[in-house]
Amino acid sequence: MNKLLIALGLAASVALVGCNKQEAPETGATTGEHLENAADQAGHDISKAADEAAAKTEAATEEATAKIDAAGEEAAAKTEAAAQNAKEAAKDATVATASAVEDGAANVKERAQQ
């Protein structure tokens, strides 16, 4: 009797282990195939993410370069305008100084004649 129970237990164990090794019914793929497919998908996802990151980095670099160029051009224009203003101010100061010298000389000449 004990031998019969042991034989039935072993048969049930073999049947259960055999059922667990069968392919998954929903896809027909084994666990190894699922893992391989998941690894492939992860590789594609990583590659896609890297490509997107590279594209965003390139776009950000181009935008930063354009802004730096625009800022440089604006600074150059403002520097040129400031230099022009300084030149005009120097001219005005020279004219005012010369006029003041002439007026002073005329006053000295007029006083000398009196």
Give me 45's structure tokens: 């996802």
Q: Which residue has the tokens 């259960």?
A: 16
pLDDT, residue 36, reads: 85
Q: Domain locations in the chain?
A: 29-113
Regions in the chain scoring below 70 on pLDDT: 1-5, 7-29
pTM for the structure as a whole: 0.47
pLDDT, residue 3, reads: 64
Give me 110's structure tokens: 């007029």
pLDDT, residue 17, reads: 56
Q: 29 in helix, strand or coil?
A: coil
Distance of alpha carbon 88 from alpha carbon 84, whole angstroms: 6
Residue pair 51/61 in contact (Cβ under 8 Å)? The answer is no
